[in-house]
Each structure stands twice: as C-alpha cells, then as structure tokens.
Structure 1
Amino acid sequence: MKTVVGLETEYGALLSGASQGMRDLFRQEEMFQKVRDHIFHVQRKGLIDQHQRAYDEPPGNGGFLRNGGRLYIDMGHVEYATPECHTLLDLVRADRGGDRLLQQAVDEMGLSGEISFIKNNIDHQTLATFGSHENYLVSRDFPFTERGMEPLVAFLVTRQIVTGAGRVGVSYVNDSLISLDTERPPVHFQISQRADYIVNKFYQWVQMNRSIVNTRDEPLSDPLQYRRMHLLLGDSNMSQFATAMKFGMTKIVMDLVEDGLAPAVGVRDPVQACRAISHDLSMRWKLQDLEGRILSALDMQEMFLEKAVKAYSGRDEDTDWVLEEWGKLLSDLAKKDPSLVTDRLDWAAKYNMISAFRDSENLEWNDPWLESLDLEYHNIDPGKGLFHILEEEGRHRRLLPPSISETGATCPPSFTRAEGRAQAIDRILENPDMLYIIQWFGIQINQGDVLYMLEPLKNYRDEVSEYFRKNLPPSADA
C-alpha cells in the first residue's frame, strides 16, 4: 500500500497492592516518570523534549525515539505513538516495539513485581477508558463531509466483528450523566472495548465526546496535499493478525471512498449500532441502513470486500493478503461459531479462554476473577500476559517472529520520513550538548534553520545528512 499509517496507544497499568486511592495515583505517576526517564536517560533510546510542545506537554514530558516514534505521558497514561509506517508488517513491528520498549525498561529497573503495563482500553473499577487511535494519510481531496463519509462510518461500525479486543461486562457511560429507568438485557461479554464509549459520529475533540471519526484538521504534513484521518473507536489489539487486518481493511475502504468506488451504504444511528453489534454474542449483528433495511454487519462487510476485490486485486502484496484473509474471516464468522476464529481475532480468543475458565470453576459472569483474567490477557509482559501464552503455544497466529518484533523499538520503518527523523536522533545522541527541537514534520538544531519534512512518504536521509553537515561545527561532525 502506497500510504502511511500510524497507531497511538495509551497503556493502562496495574500496581501491586493498589487500592484505587489518591496515594496510588501519585505512586502510578511516579512509576510512569521513572520508566520514561530510564528509557530516555539511561537506555538512551530517544531524545527527551527540550521545548514546550503544548500547554500540557512541558519540557521533559516525553520525546521522540530512535525508531522515529514517540513516547510521552498524557492524561495520566503512558502513551506510545508508532513512527510512520509504509507496510502492514512495519506497523505490526513498530506496535510490538512499543510493548517491548516499556517492558524492557520495567525489567531492567527491577519493577516487574510492582507495575504491569496493560494494553487494553478500560478500567473495570472506575469504568474509565483509554484510547487506541489510528492515523491514516489520505489526500486533501478525500470527501471529508458527512455525506461523503457515510460509507466509511458504516464500515467502521461493522469492522469490530474482526478488530474487537473483547471484554467482560458493559459500561453504560451515560448513566453518570442522567438516570434512566430503562430495563437493559445483561451483557456478560462483548466484542469491543470502546463501543460503549463512542457517543458521536463526528466530533473535533478527543476527550469526553468521543466520536467515530475525529474531525480535527491536523495533517502533520503538507496541508495542501494531505489530511490525517484520526479514528478513535478502535480497540487495542494484542493479536498481530488483528492489528494488520484493522489497518489493512480500513485503508482499502478509505481508498474506495476517495476513488468513488465504495458501496452506497450508510448506517442509521451508527452510535447505537456500534453498541448493539458489540453486545450481540449471538453473532446475528443486525442494524438498519439509511434506507430502513435490516442488514447484518456481515452483509455490510461483504459489500465492501466485493468492491475492494473488484477494484484493487493485484495492486500490491499487502492488499492481496488483506483481501484474501478478509474473505476467509467473513466466511468463518458467517458460521456463528467463535471457536473458528480464535487463532486470529482477539475477542474470540479471549471469549474462548474466559468461557473455558468460567465453566471449569463454575463462576458467574460477574465474578471479579473474570475481570482480572480480562486484564491479564492484555498484560504486555511475555511472562505474565495470557495472550502471550496463546501465541507461544501456537494457538494464535503470529505474523512476525520475536526476533523481528524486538527491533521495532529502535529501528525505523523504511520508505517514510521516520528514517530521516531516526537518523537525526542518532546524530544528536552523539552530541549531547546540542540544542534541538524534534517534531513530526521537521527538525531544528542549535536554533538554526528548520529542516521541514512535510512529505511522509519520503525518507529524507540525504536531506538530514546535508542539514547536519551545514549546521554542526567541524569538531562535532568529525
């Protein structure tokens, strides 16, 4: 795929002996700062920010990494942003690299008995949510209107049957704002972690009013050529396969929309449909389209797949892989048996694991033990996380061997500006007294000229070399 994608992950955390009090919040923040400082100052795996990036990002809050990505503390969470990735395997490698970056720091500091980082989206105790935000580079000509994006919204609402991470229980977020007397059916387990927290189709801001598509126009590249599509409704996937499919399917559908080839379909009340699909473990997944027809999520996914096969078969290796696997998944899901996809999809793997444990222990679905298992599925520590057991035992499909995943924290993806940014970071690390500003779209050293990097699909290696040759004194460049 000739494009650029990226993923931002907000990690949850479990502290040993925590009681959810204010003291634990301070202790957690202190732990986050220790891990961050170890990564930047001890391991020297990146450059800590010297400048104030925003009112809530003071100097030292975070920085750019040697892989071209970014690590920082945001709204009480450690957040990792992958570098710009050109292929699906690059994205999977960079995503796993973030997990390894954090876990290696925890292990080196001897903190594995005190803190565990959890790559999920909910806090079962407080019902808070934390995000997994997807970024896609699209043309400035993309039909960024409500009408133009109806097909994209329909796809995003229904793709959770493939991309959901699964969770125990339910969060009725509006109950904190208004008291409702409505009787609701119990939801013991659902497909998506984020579905209950999405309250709008489109909205500009990220916090408190979470939308399917974030409409803030912040391209972080040439604004005359590009737009950055920023999606908020996705779950944090442990599965390499589900991660690759999420980005691959979504970019293909964005291409269909931009090329005017998407099916003319939309969803009536997509926010409600998102929750209804997530809550429906019968796998019927019914919804109403804009014409009033009752369809299933599978019906809609098949519409998009049919158009994509016709338009893009043979385009490139990534596209052909996604189209083939998409078809296999929809065929298996149509049989309404989650066990057929436990080797590829997080929600099915988790449901199968927790259901088996519940039956063996004769537990009710509201038993806190099951919530604990839900969290431990997402533990990024290979020695503790339940997902890692499935992967090591060969029960969940792995796209990259561990040896390749290990490189994701320090090696940038090829064919994007992340290469040039990483090259600049390595040069600055060799000259610790240098003043610098690193941004997604450019770099500046020693208060000199700015090297703008506005084309995400360019590696900028030659430009970075020339920039340092001109701006470093001869002794520093020796």
Structure 2
Amino acid sequence: MTDSGAAATTAEPAGALTTRIMGVETEYGIACTTADGGRMIPDELARLMFRPVVEKYASSNIFTSSAARLYLDVGSHPEWATAECRSITQLLNHERAGDVVVDGLAGRVEQELGEGARVYVFKNNVDSIGNSYGCHENYLVRRGLSLKKLGLALVPFLITRQLIAGAGKIYRPFPGSPSERYGTGFCVSQRADHVWEGVSSATTRSRPMINTRDEPHADSERFRRLHVIVGDSSMAEPTFALKIGSALLVLEMIEAGFPMPEVELANDAAAIRDIARDPRGRTVLPLTGEGTVTALELQDRYCSAAERWLDVRPPSRGGTPPEEFARIVDLWRRTVTALDTGDFSTVDTEIDWVIKRKLLNRYRERLGVDLGHPKLAQIDLAYHDVRPGRGLYSTLVNRGMIARWTTDEAIETAVHTPPHDTRAALRGRFLDHARALGAPVTVDWMRLRVNRPEPQVLQLGDPFTADDPRVDELISYMDAHATDYGTPS
C-alpha cells in the first residue's frame, strides 16, 4: 500500500489560522560529578544516558509513544521535540514531558554510577564557557504568506519579547566577544548574545532570530513552518505560556492585517544585546530611516494591539480557548506595567528573569557579594536543574514562590500520550501498535512506513488530521503479518 500523500480530512477551515499547529524543540545541558569529585565529559555522559534507548531501538534518534522526537543533538545535548500541538497548555504539557523523560535518562545513569554520583540536566541556553544551545519554536503558517516578509514583521516583536519572557542570567564577558564591552551584570535573556541577524537560512554559523529554511513537515503546497530560534528556554510555566501566546497573537494579527506596530530597527543584533542589559526596557532603538523607539514602548504597543485583537478575533475550532488568551494578555499587560513602574511584585512569581533576579539579589545581600561571585553563578545554574526536589526551580514551586499554569498529572499524561487532535495521534497509535507486534517500521514527522514483508508507506501531509482510515489499513496490514515479526522489542 504505497500512498501519494493525499490527506483524508482537513480539520482547519479556510481563512485565518486562528487554530494553529505548534511545536517546541528543547536542547538540554548535561553534567556529571562522580563519587570521587571528578567530572565526566559530556560526550561520555550522553552515551550513557542514551544507552538504554539505543539498546531498545538501535538508534539514538527515536519517536516516543507520545509522538515526540527524542534524540542526541550535536554537542552532546539531549533534545526533545514535542509532538504537533494545537493549544498553548497542550504544548506546555508536552514540552514539560521532555523534562521528565530526559531527567529519567539521567536518573538511570546516576543509579548505575552508584552513591555519590550526581547527574544534572539543565534547561538553560548557555554553558560556563559561552557555548549556546537553543529552544526553538515552530508555528504552522499558510504557504501563500511570504516567510521573509512575515519574519521581518515579527523581528521587532521578538527582539523586545525578552522583556516579558526572558530566562535571565548573570553575564560575564568573554574576551573578544561582541558583548565584552558590557562587563559583568544581569541579562534578561540567555540567547540575546548568540543571534546575529533577523531572518536568514543559517542555523549555527550565523544564527538568525527566524530561520527561513523551507522544511514545512506538512503538505508543502499548503503550508510553511515558521522556525523561531531566538527564544530562551522557560522554567516558569506562566513564562512559557506568555512566550508562546504572545507570539501566536502577533502572528495572527500580521496575517489578518490588523493594525499593529510597523517598525524596522536599524540594527537588530545591537538592539537585542542592548535590551538584554536593560531590565526596565528604556533602551532607545534607532529605526531605519529616521526616528527612535524604546523597547518598552514597542512591547506596550504590541500588547495594546493584542488587547484590541481579542475583541474582534474570529472564533476558532479547537485550539487555545479565548479565556486562555485573555489570561495571557492579562499577564502580558501586568509585565509591561511592571517594566514601566519598576514594581515587579505583581509578576515576581510568573516571569523567569524577574524570579531569578529577585532570588539572586536576596542571596547577594545575604552573602554581601557582587554578581561576579561563584556562589551566585551556582544559584543561577541551579535554577535550571529539572530534577524535582533538587533544582531551585522546583524548590521555589513547592514553596509557592513560582506560580503554576498546568498540573503534574497533565504533564505525566503527556509523557505517554500524544495530542488527541493532531496528526501526532496517528503517529503515536501506529508506533504503539508496531512496537507491541515487534513490526519493523520507520517514521518521521510526515511518513509512516512498515518495512516488511512488502514496504507500505503512508504520507500524512495535513498536521490537523487526527483521524485517517488509511492508518487503520496500515495497522491491519501489520496485524495480518504479525507472525513474520518474531518477538516484540
């Protein structure tokens, strides 16, 4: 049964994509201290972490039962790419499922190494010597939109979004780096120093904020994938919701031609670095041609536009409910107001960089040290430790000092269960059935393939489709040949 790729049904109506497919890719930093006080090199640690995955699946690059992709990325970074999601909270649950899975791999290594060994998984974006690793956002857009034009309209928002959704860090300059002139201090963003231009097809050599490489992972005649690589990894759940939700609303407004800020910054790379050192958003940004605007003014304009957009936004079928968008815009407005007034008490349990700065200031005052002290660097890093009960983030959550957006139960469900209303449901069902039978299969974001006895290939070009009779046929084919597959893995 080979397939031409025709979709069975389409759940998304024509018009504005107010229901949108989204995904997040998270790269993790890892470290290990041994019982004798030594350190294991990351490459060796990564191999140990992925050994049970390789033993079970003969690969370090797999799709899980939740239809997410788990793999070992360049630089010995475990990476979790969520399944296709249709709502913000659904995406949050599946992103947090990655924390659970990767920490589980680390926990097994810790047990193997014995008492005294500690394996750490950090959801941050920069290591101690200045290397950066990413948190990438993916948004489905219609093919008819010019990705470059769309990207240019988004860039000023993304450059200033760090003020409302940055992870925060203590910055120490590295000799010869473009940001050496700033000196030691606090940054609202971890990725700001590691992007070099607004929109391009590069990924690592000259990181842009938006990557334009045309890989839609969907019907290429109908869809594009907007690949945003400028954002920080989020620890606080409300920060994640605001990061994704604000981008969704701005993207909707651009597509709909809704009145909103129309600016072009004179120097994107300089702007994002300068804003990172200004936790009040007062940085003056020169515009192309004439005029200037501050970072805070821009975010205020975007937030005001989103408030107006919610009043006229067309109804969507599924996806993020209106009341959740209202909750996001409320947090957005409160954060902008805090930047304006300097009173961050209204958001200091919800926004990562605000939470972290408050924590660091408390320790700095208690210890009587400056930001360059090693103890503060340790606290900065410990905030991103994903281990429940050990990392500072989870400690603060348990003390009621960081607000929740979802629940542990919903996250645990997402570890094993794909989203029910996207193509991921088909991939997850196919994989579970194949693994129960021991059937040799190959999958990627778009294709399901049974390799024996005769190759059977199915292409799923519509990521909105969660029900397709062709998948039932493929599963029936595996059932009919179950005796050929031997013992399930």
The two structures have a TM-score, normalised by structure 1, of: 0.88
Judged with a 3 Å threshold, the aligned counterparts in structure 2 of structure 1 residues 66 and 41 are, in CA distance, closer, same or farther, namely farther
3-state SS of 1:341 partner? coil
Bigger shift: 465-474 or 453-462? 465-474
CA contact (8 A) 2:187 2:279 kept: yes
- 1:241 counterpart residue number: 238
Q: Which amino acid aligns with 2:50?
A: R
Matches within 5 A, 1:292-307: 292-307=290-305
What are the equivalent positions in structure 2 for 1:57-76 lying under 5 Å apart?
60-75=59-74, 76=76
**Matched residues in 1 for 2:257 and 2:36: separation?**
53
* Matched position secondary structure for 2:341: coil
- More displaced, 337-346 or 439-448? 337-346
Number of the residue aligned with 2:133: 130
Please give the secondary structure, in 2, of the residue aligned with 1:456.
coil
Q: Secondary structure in 2 aligned to 1:237?
A: coil
Distance 1:231 1:172, change over 3 A: farther
Q: How does 1:335-354 map to 2 (within 5 A)?
A: 335-354=341-360
Which range is displaced more, 223-232 or 453-462? 453-462
Summarize the Cα distance change of 1:373–1:367 in structure 2 as closer, same or farther, 3 Å threshold.
Answer: same
Question: What is the DSSP-based 3-state SS (H/G/I as helix, E as strand, rest coil) of the residue aligned with 2:63?
Answer: strand
Residue 184 of structure 1 aligns to a residue whose secondary structure is: helix
What is the 5 A alignment of 1:34-433? Answer: 34-39=48-53, 48=57, 60-75=59-74, 76-109=76-109, 110=111, 113-124=117-128, 126-146=129-149, 148-171=150-173, 175=176, 184-261=181-258, 262-313=260-311, 315=315, 316-317=321-322, 318-432=324-438
- Which amino acid counterpart does residue 160 of structure 1 have in structure 2? Q
Instruction: Specify every segment of 5 or more residues in structure 2 that has no aligned partner in the other structure, as ranges.
Output: 1-17, 316-320
> Aligned partners of 2:470 and 2:336: how far apart in 1?
46
CA displacement at 1:372 relative to structure 2: 1.3
SS state at 1:356 partner:
helix
Confirm or deny that 1:440 pairs with 2:445.
yes
Q: Specify the code of the residue in structure 1 equivalent to 2:408.
A: P
Alpha-carbon distance in 2 for matches of 1:188, 1:471: 59
Deviations 1:424-476 (A, max 9, x none): 110011012x2211100111012522111111111145432222113442555
1:117 Cα offset (Å): 0.5
- TM-fit CA distance, 1:291: 4.6
Residue 52 of structure 1 corresponds to none
CA distance in 2, matches of 1:183, 1:105: 37
Instruction: Kindly state the Cα deviation for residue 382 of structure 1 after the two structures are TM-superposed.
Output: 1.1
Unaligned runs of 5+ in 1: 43-47, 49-58
Residue 310 of structure 1, CA deviation = 2.5
CA RMSD of aligned residues (A): 2.6
**2:174·2:180 contact (CA, 8 Å) conserved in 1?**
no
Determine if contact 2:151/2:210 at 8 Å carries over to the other structure. Answer: no
Kindly indicate whether the alpha-carbon contact (under 8 Å) linking 2:171 and 2:187 is maintained by their aligned counterparts in 1.
yes
Equivalent position SS for 1:458: coil
Residues 213, 111 of structure 1: alpha-carbon distance in 2 compared, 3 angstrom cutoff: farther
In 2, the alpha carbon distance for the partners of 1:198 and 1:455 equals 32
Report the alpha carbon displacement of residue 204 of structure 1 after superposing the two structures with TM.
1.1
Moved more, 397-406 or 299-308: 299-308
Residues 144-175 of structure 1 deviation map (CA, whole Å, 9 limit, x = unaligned): 235x53331010001111110000114558x2
How far apart are the structure 1 equivalents of 2:35 and 2:265? 43
Aligned-partner Cα distance in 2 for 1:63–1:133: 19
> Does the 8 A contact of 2:32 with 2:45 survive in 1?
no
Question: How many percent identity over aligned positions?
Answer: 28
Q: Which moved more, 1:264-273 or 1:82-91?
A: 264-273
Q: Is the 8 A contact 2:437 2:482 kept in 1?
A: no
Q: Give the total of aligned pairs.
A: 452
**Partner Cα separation in structure 2 for residue 116 and residue 469 of structure 1:** 43
